[in-house]
Amino acid sequence: MATDTLLALTDAAVGTTLLLCGAAAWRARPASRTGLLMVATGVCWFAGSVVAAAVFLHRGPLVHLHISYPTGRLRRRLAVAVVGLAYVSAVAEGLSENSWLSLVLAVLVAVAAVDVFTRTSGPARKAGGPALGAALAFAAVLALASANQLLGWDADTPVLLAYDAVVATVSVVLLADLLRGRWTDDTLADLVTGLGRGAGPEGLRGHLRRGLGDPSLTVGFWVPEQGAYVDDEGRPFDVPDGDETRAVTRVEDRGQPLAVLVHDRVVLDDPGLVDGVAAVAQLAVTNARLRAEVRARVAELAASRRRIVEAGDAQRSQLEQALATGAERRLAEVDRLLTELVPVAAMTGLAEVRAEVHGARTDLHAFAQGVRPTALGAGGLPAALPVLAARSGVPVTLTVTVGRLPPAVESALYFVCSEALTNVGKHAAATRVTVVARRHGDDATVLTVEDDGVGGADPRGSGLRGLTDRVEAFGGTLVVTDGPAGGTVLTARIPTQPGGTS
């Protein structure tokens, strides 16, 4: 009699616990079906206390609760099949008890729970620990009850008390986890951390897909100029109407459209998660727009610098041509006339005038070559660098394996080489210099000037600083280092294509 009273009180306590936990869960998380399933389990539990044929009826919603937590929805086919079997078994065993059927159900519940846990991600995976533990605990006690009947252990009371304890404990644990919403906080923390490492619109989509466990999630970004949404590749993004399986979540900034998420309705059942994801998406899209604007400004600045350098080079070329066809040509004509008058010049003192004219021609030619060498315009670096090497006061070993380049690039590399050779002659105390101009793949030209001097060149000096600015205007780099065996190594690298990066 005492045992019967204990079991009756325990049954009443378990049923009451299920109803109270279910009501609390339903009120706190109305979008989740967890509370509804707990209440259904509690109702069926009390029905079994009244009607003997309904004693196993609670197993259907109870298995459904364990395998579908925290959303209450089934997404895996195996889970659907196992839950269906649980409902069928709950009715069948009430009519004719079958311990083998209970044992098979216990095994399948464990298998389905592990399958759901290993194949989900996002919020469902965050909540997967308690759900998996609850399902395995129920499967274990259900298998224990079946083994008690099949093996004749005659331990009905301890087994029933263990069964009741597991059902009540699991309902309390799941309620506590549901109210805490731990997976929501973890999901948002993962999203913020991932996006904090730097992600543009495409990164936002990827992080949301992984964080929410929805590989089909898509993101549209609002473009005010077009008055429409586009995807991360700039193509038009059609916002579908929501249905039973797909939902549309719009992200706004002070009432203005910012982005739209199209996702599986299940993954954003939690209102707190919806608000959090919307805030994360708003921050990510805003940051992506700011980064895009900064990149655009940087690109505009780089293009402006390049245009300034190219314009200066074009002006130098025009000046060199003007000198060659203007002043230098007239001086040449004067020199010719004076040459024809050599006898007269000798008698009249015009020889000194002819010498001055010849000197002026020499100085003018040197000036014109300094502005832009004729050889550089006619033959590019292969023609101009040997002239530099021949004028160098230090022996130069020259290797040039590049063809014609854009005029401004040729000019930049030429003056880098000229300045480097001048610095070697003035400061390096070197005995030899090696100059190499080569292509680096298909995307850049590299000029290297290496000497065996004393080293210690200062890249912050005014001469090298000016060369660095010229090279960087083309998206290139100029690096000055000490050589491995002493001396200085100067390396200039300029992308071949305009706007490239080095």
pLDDT at residue 121, as a whole number: 60
Cβ-count burial 186-221 (b if 16+ within 10 Å, e if not): bbbebbbebbeeebbbebbbbbbbbbbbbeebbbbb
The Cα angle at residue 478 between residues 318 and 439, in degrees rounded to 5: 75
Q: What is the CA radius of gyration of the chain?
A: 42
pLDDT at residue 368, as a whole number: 45
pLDDT at residue 311, as a whole number: 54
Question: Distance between CA atoms of 239 and 260, rounded to whole angstroms?
Answer: 8
Residue type, 125: R
Question: Residue 136, exposed/middle/buried by CB under 10 A (0-12, 13-18, 19+)?
Answer: middle
pLDDT at residue 4, as a whole number: 78
Q: Are 136 and 169 in contact (CB under 8 A)?
A: no
Q: Are 429 and 400 in contact (CB under 8 A)?
A: no
- The residues of the chain scoring below 50 in pLDDT are 345, 347, 364, 366-371, 498-502
DSSP H or E stretch at residue 446: strand 444-451
The neighbour count for residue 292, using CB atoms within 10 Å, is: 12
The closest of 290, 289, 371 to 327, measured between CA atoms, is 371
The Cα angle at residue 301 between residues 295 and 303, in degrees rounded to 5: 100
Question: Distance between CA atoms of 70 and 37, rounded to whole angstroms?
Answer: 11
Question: Distance between CA atoms of 213 and 128, rounded to whole angstroms?
Answer: 12
pLDDT at residue 347, as a whole number: 47
Question: Distance between CA atoms of 97 and 105, rounded to whole angstroms?
Answer: 13
pLDDT at residue 203, as a whole number: 65
> How do strand 433-440 and strand 256-264 relate by DSSP bridges?
unpaired
First-to-last C-alpha distance (Å) of the chain: 89
Question: What is the signed CA dihedral for 85, 90, 94, 95, rounded to 10 degrees?
Answer: -30
Q: Are 502 and 468 in contact (CB under 8 A)?
A: no
The Cα angle at residue 251 between residues 284 and 68, in degrees rounded to 5: 95
Q: Are 414 and 398 in contact (CB under 8 A)?
A: no
The closest of 220, 287, 211, 222 to 248, measured between CA atoms, is 220
pLDDT at residue 371, as a whole number: 47
Distances (CA, A) of 56 to 17, 42, 66, 308: 18, 12, 16, 85
Distances (CA, A) of 93 to 55, 57, 316: 9, 9, 98
